[in-house]
Structure 1
Amino acid sequence: DCNLSRHFSWDGHPCWSPDGKLVAFVGQRPDDQTDLFYVWLSRADEERNTFDKEREAARAAMGKGGDAKKKPDSEKKGAAGTAPVAIDFEDLHTRVRRITLKGVTPAHPFFSHDSRTLAFEATVNGVAGTYKVVLPDKLTPELLTRRRGRALQWLAKDNRLLWLSDNLPAHLDKTFAFSAYQETDLRDYQELGFLMAWARLRDWYYDAGYHGADWPRMKAKYRDAARGAPSHSVFQRVMALLHGELNSSHLGFTASESSKKEWDKTAGFQSWSVVTAHLGLRVDPSAPGPGWLIRDVVPDGPADQIALKLAPGDRVLAVDGRPVTPDTDPAEVLNGPEARNIELTVRSGDPAPRQITLPATTYGAIREKLKTAAFDAVRARVRAASGGRLGYLNIQRMRWDDYYRFEQEIFAEGFDKEGLVIDVRDNSGGFVADRILGVLCGSVHSIAVARGAAPAYLSGYWGRPVWDKPVVVLCNQNTVSNGEIFTHAIKTLKRGKIVGVPTCGGVIATSDVALLDLGTLRLPHRGWFLPDGTDMELNGTQPDVLVWNEPGDAAAGRDRQLDAALDVLKQEVEHEKRNRQPVKLRYAR
């Protein structure tokens, strides 16, 4: 095996030139740019087709007798057969060339018959299609066609590009539609889909011991049930039973929309769906009329506008002209298209009602705003309980937007704090735990001091904020996947104390595998282990301080886990102060 690029970022979509002398691929780099890359497998080929070609062009331009018509060996026509390519493996990665395409994200490159024209999918200046460059010197993308597809062969005769575009065979812009008829025995089809899933798990499940399950026996146990399933809902249940034998997280089967049609008949006569709108305010259902008594206005919701002047105690008397009472089902007056304006008749103390108009939103959007409001309330509570010395951050998932928010908030919230509570309770996972750890575990190797200023390190040199003060991490039984990779790491690296209850114990890397057109299998193919070899799957992070919240605590405004975290953090801050070694500056003399 040969690691062609030897780069830590993702590289993919490789393709080999027809003459075997070049490999091209797509790669991501730390500057968040995705570009094309290529490499000549032989140094001699690169010299003949790059440096010698440049010298000949220069001689021709200078009029010094250079043969402008002379072509590199690779461009000569009529050679019988293709000579074997001797690959110079030594330092191959240092010869990888990058084609920088600012503002363009290329994908799925492929070579033409001349082995020098490289085509790829991209959107350039707002125009999506298939573009080409010519190696090594014509690197400005040129539109080949507005179609996209997967190349099968690019023939020299008539320069014919044969490919699949929009799932149809095509020659450049011309597609060839066809019909094919297939008789399918549904029982055979379901059995085949089941066997494919079972075999994929047999060959690729991360634990070759299958968490103790007798995997060959599982095939015999569920095969007939899958074959005889009378509907895809039953087929899904059989698949769930098979997966349950592994007692594994990150595993499941999702039926495709096309397969669902055999048992899940849906109406397709309209392009929009009916939703129950949310007004961005909450009412007291127990309050007597008239209308709905507003209990509160959701921060940053559609009703939270200065011009509307809505406040607790106001009453909604009608919705789009329809009177409402405390007994009115909101669905009766709020159902309709998602994107629309709603007119309310409101009374605000003054006996005379008034009309206001606000945009409708969804219950899901309001839940997210209420989460944000709840986190802000917890942050205020932490500040109050610590006299402003401690801060609070909540990380709901481990995805890019969560990391960027964390990166901003840890600097803003931690700017004048002595310690931070980092809350990953109910964190559903993702992939940025290591980036967050990079912020929390930066090593200080030196300090910079301006005249009259306190010792510090210039954070701009790190390229990210770095927090090296005490932290306490909150977790619970719903902290899962990359969220608990983070809690395991905090404990393993001894970066801070963990407070709460053991995490879920569901940590596996997955990929998706299509099962015919029945659906998709989520396949756990790579396990995650602690440095001592302990499987994180089924082994959640054990907190340093075990605290369970009791039923009813949330409704009563209590959070025992947060209270315990604050107590621990205060102790950690005091311990850090006692053990902090003052820096004595010794200036050069």
Structure 2
Amino acid sequence: FAHEKDLWFSHDGKSILYIHDDGINSELRRMEKTKPGQFWWQATDLKHTTIVKASKRPTGIIPGPKGKKITYTTYPGNLWVSNPDGSEPVRLVESWQEPTAKWSPNGKWIAYTLQNNNFNPDIFIIRTDGSMPPVNISRHPDLDFSPAWSPDGRRIAFIGRHHKEQYDIFYLDLYKSDEIKDTNGETLERARKAMDKDPAYKGITKKKVKKVLEKLSGKNKQKKSEKEETFDFSNVHQRLRRIEVKGITPSKLIWNNDSKKILFQSRSNKKIIYTVDAKSGAKPSKLAEASGTPIKIDTKGKLYWISKGVPATLQGGKNTPYPFTVYTERKLSDWKRMAFRNAWNTMRDSFYDPKLNNRNWTDVLEKYEPMAMQANTSMVFDRIVSMMLGELNASHMGFRSVRQWPSSWQPTPKWKEETVHLGTRFDHTHADKGWKVSEVIPDSPADRDISKILPGEIITHINGTEILSDSPRNELLHRRLSEPVHLKVTDKDGRARAVKIQPITYKAARDLARNAHIDATEHAVNKLSGGKLGYIHVARMMWDEFEKFEHHLYEQGAGKDGLVIDVRDNGGGFTTDHLLTALCQPRHAFTIPRNGGIGYPQDRIVYATWNKPIIVLCNQNSFSNAEIFSHAIRNLNRGKIVGVATAGGVISTGSTAILDAGTLRLPFRGWFSSSDGKDMELNGAQPHYTIWNKPGELSRGKDVQLEKAVSILLEDSKKSPSLPKPKYRVSK
């Protein structure tokens, strides 16, 4: 009972290296045929030998070239080199995160990608004998990853994001002589071609010309010293060459057999493979309409890869797949057990809190594993995994099966029916027949001239059906969204009229209602402050909302003494630091143009900025990144906070696949307050002034949190320091 993964053939093809994982412990093993003369597909009697024991916690393996060495990784981020049998291990890298490594063709070097504590990945090169410390060859504050060695071992390429959001290919000549050759090569080649065509050189043999040019380029000197030459790491990061691939996000680099071209694919268009010359200014061209995972390119330029899930070769623009069929049997209880263990050990090894909420994680496994094995549907299995996750008492978690099992038959409707919305709210105290309208949502169907309904009017019939006092609203309004609804409406004077209305979805109605509430709150701030304060509502910590925020700094801040920033009911995102850049920009100077007033050049700032007083509104539904923002405002003393403590759900989360069973949300990074070091998870941002809005107050238009915020900000704005009076130079 185990999951075998990360399989590699040995260099001679006589054995297979793999990771044996039973969901609790893992081992690095070697598998061999007991009858060497058999093909692998014939072999039924196999020998398995442990190379790296479970106590070392191996996680991955990459055999070295020529079968002389292997590399493997162990938890959490150790990179080792050893003999193929696991003997004489040397630890090359010790880290918190597993590096991704690539052997050089001669087996003397390893290139790897590794993130630092700021989650910035760089490319490193290290000797496989461990005789020197690793060298950071990218050394850039943005993303660098996916190193690829050229077949001759003299160049290395990788993907990097060094220019805003543009991903490009970068390459490096590891021998300085190659860099000189690369710089002068094109000029010398043009000179050679020009001399061939020039009549003045017709009497000179090509050999003499070639000899002169080689002497100029130092090629003969290179040949003599090549054996003694080694990588030149002096100012290595400054010697990187950039290949721009605008409009393409490159992935899966592999060098051509001549070490002069690079093949790559696009993450945005996964059906095309491109090729580009490894030189600055080169433009990529389409090689073929195909995609896959590259393995190697032979000396004739044939690409061996996995394409569409099967082995394939690509040459001359033609992709040739080699499909096969494998019949397997799966014991369902063991599959559920392995999937559950995989979710369990993923949290064991990667959950941000090393104490796992002070739970004995082995006891947790023993508690829930028997239930998971007996789950009779995917829904039950998902619930059991969620119960296991609940032991951690943390946010940003969950598990969902990729498919429903057992599969159930459901009829496919010819059209979709749903409960539609008219754009009205009703008076729930109305006990007579019909629905009495208490409010019409602005810009909704009921607010349009062609289908207008007014507050106080009563809807008595829907599509000819009389509405009784106990008529279920969801049944009468359940229909196709595209169908109009025919209403009979009675006004306050008892006069009836027919109204034909085109309904909307409940989501659309909620969006319109939210916009109306924001407009009403903005109006309330203006009224309460006598026009002195502005109001900005931040619905989500997402980029589109930040762009609105930057615009609103000018729109709502024009002529105001302060801003109320509202992150109540904000579900989070990632833009806190962008908002802080706009709100906390240092004022080191101001400018005055001739005949103008005090300001600062717009083209010199990162974002639109606001230096005047602010106050922040938050509540129990402010979540994740909205909480980080609230914490930051308090820790940086940028302003006061009014409302109630935020949710206390602050963890960076990602997702990871659990075998072929489902997807697990994985909280991998904790956030801690810079003021006292407290974990923000379960510790919401605390307001300076704690005030609760009572049930029913907001719907009646009363917002005591807002009222308090306005009163405090009006006082703070009076204390806001002003800039010094400009003192022009004095001539001496």
TM-score range, shorter chain: 0.7 to 0.9
Structure 2 residue corresponding to 1:210, chosen from 356, 363, 371: 356
How is 1:133-532 mapped onto 2 (pairs within 5 angstroms)?
Answer: 133-136=276-279, 139-157=282-300, 159-172=301-314, 173-257=319-403, 260-262=404-406, 265=408, 267=410, 269=412, 273-282=416-425, 296-301=439-444, 305=448, 308=450, 310-312=452-454, 322-327=463-468, 335=478, 340=482, 342=484, 344=486, 358=502, 361-531=504-674, 532=676
Displacement of 1:515 after TM fit?
0.9
Moved more, 438-447 or 540-549: 540-549
Give distance in 2, aligned partners of 1:51 and 1:200: 49
CA contact (8 A) 2:423 2:447 kept: yes
**Residue aligning to 1:564:** 708
Displacement of 1:473 after TM fit?
0.9
Which runs of 5 or more residues in structure 2 are unaligned? 1-133, 197-205, 218-222
Task: Name the SS for the 1:196 alignment partner.
Answer: helix
CA offsets 1:341-373 (integer angstroms, 9 cap, x no match): 636567798989677674x54211221221122
Task: Name the SS for the 1:63 alignment partner.
Answer: helix
CA contact (8 A) 1:398 1:430 kept: yes
CA contact (8 A) 1:22 1:38 kept: yes
CA contact (8 A) 2:573 2:626 kept: yes
CA offsets 1:470-499 (integer angstroms, 9 cap, x no match): 011111122222111111111111111111
Displacement of 1:291 after TM fit?
7.7
CA contact (8 A) 1:501 1:546 kept: yes
Task: Name the SS for the 1:140 alignment partner.
Answer: coil
Give distance in 1, aligned partners of 2:229 and 2:383: 53
Give distance in 1, aligned partners of 2:333 and 2:696: 50
CA contact (8 A) 1:440 1:468 kept: yes
**Residue aligning to 1:98:** 242
Give distance in 2, aligned partners of 1:478 and 1:150: 44
Give distance in 2, aligned partners of 1:409 and 1:325: 47
Structure 1 residue corresponding to 2:727, chosen from 569, 585, 588: 585
**Residue aligning to 1:39:** 172
CA contact (8 A) 1:500 1:548 kept: yes
CA contact (8 A) 1:276 1:334 kept: yes
Task: Name the SS for the 2:139 alignment partner.
Answer: coil
**Residue aligning to 1:76:** none
Q: Which amino acid aligns with 1:160?
A: K
CA contact (8 A) 1:21 1:85 kept: no
**Residue aligning to 1:23:** 156
Higher strand share: 2
Give distance in 2, aligned partners of 1:87 and 1:525: 37
**Residue aligning to 2:131:** none
- Given the superposition, is the C-alpha separation of residues 230 and 475 from structure 1 closer, same or farther in structure 2, using an over 3 Å criterion? same
Residue 262 of structure 2 is aligned to residue 121 of structure 1: no
CA contact (8 A) 1:317 1:323 kept: no
Q: Which amino acid aligns with 1:548?
A: W
Displacement of 1:556 after TM fit?
2.9
Give distance in 2, aligned partners of 1:295 and 1:15: 67
Displacement of 1:573 after TM fit?
0.7
CA contact (8 A) 1:500 1:546 kept: yes
Task: Name the SS for the 1:89 alignment partner.
Answer: coil
Which runs of 5 or more residues in structure 1 are unaligned? 74-78
Give distance in 1, aligned partners of 2:232 and 2:179: 11
Q: Which amino acid aligns with 1:153?
A: K
Displacement of 1:152 after TM fit?
2.4
- Given the superposition, is the C-alpha separation of residues 45 and 288 from structure 1 closer, same or farther in structure 2, using an over 3 Å criterion? same
CA contact (8 A) 2:160 2:167 kept: yes
Displacement of 1:127 after TM fit?
10
Number of residue equivalences = 569
Displacement of 1:45 after TM fit?
2.7
Quick one: higher RCO (CA 8 Å, sep 6+), 1 or 2?
Answer: 1
Task: Name the SS for the 1:199 alignment partner.
Answer: helix
Displacement of 1:517 after TM fit?
1.4
Moved more, 29-38 or 280-289: 280-289
CA contact (8 A) 2:297 2:304 kept: yes
Task: Name the SS for the 1:203 alignment partner.
Answer: helix
Residue 671 of structure 2 is aligned to residue 539 of structure 1: no
Q: Which amino acid aligns with 1:35?
A: D
Give distance in 2, aligned partners of 1:87 and 1:303: 75
Displacement of 1:303 after TM fit?
5.8
**Residue aligning to 1:59:** 191
- Given the superposition, is the C-alpha separation of residues 438 and 198 from structure 1 closer, same or farther in structure 2, using an over 3 Å criterion? same
CA contact (8 A) 1:459 1:466 kept: no
CA contact (8 A) 1:425 1:474 kept: yes
Give distance in 2, aligned partners of 1:533 and 1:462: 32
Query: How does the TM-score come out when normalised to structure 2?
Result: 0.70
Q: Which amino acid aligns with 1:342?
A: P
Give distance in 1, aligned partners of 2:473 and 2:163: 50
Displacement of 1:433 after TM fit?
0.6
Give distance in 2, aligned partners of 1:526 and 1:23: 32
Give distance in 2, aligned partners of 1:58 and 1:548: 78
Task: Name the SS for the 2:272 alignment partner.
Answer: strand
CA offsets 1:526-575 (integer angstroms, 9 cap, x no match): 21122243222222212111112222322332222212211221121112
CA contact (8 A) 1:289 1:325 kept: no
Displacement of 1:123 after TM fit?
8.6
Give distance in 2, aligned partners of 1:305 and 1:467: 38
Moved more, 486-495 or 231-240: 231-240
Give distance in 2, aligned partners of 1:548 and 1:580: 34
Report the aligned-residue RMSD: 3.6
- Given the superposition, is the C-alpha separation of residues 53 and 318 from structure 1 closer, same or farther in structure 2, using an over 3 Å criterion? farther
Give distance in 2, aligned partners of 1:59 and 1:9: 40
Rg (Cα) greater in structure: 2
Give distance in 2, aligned partners of 1:245 and 1:332: 40
- Between the two proteins, what is the percent identity of the paired residues? 35
Displacement of 1:387 after TM fit?
1.0
Give distance in 1, aligned partners of 2:460 and 2:149: 70
CA contact (8 A) 1:249 1:508 kept: yes
Give distance in 2, aligned partners of 1:130 and 1:272: 40
Query: How does the TM-score come out when normalised to structure 1?
Result: 0.85
Moved more, 12-21 or 564-573: 12-21
Give distance in 2, aligned partners of 1:368 and 1:2: 53
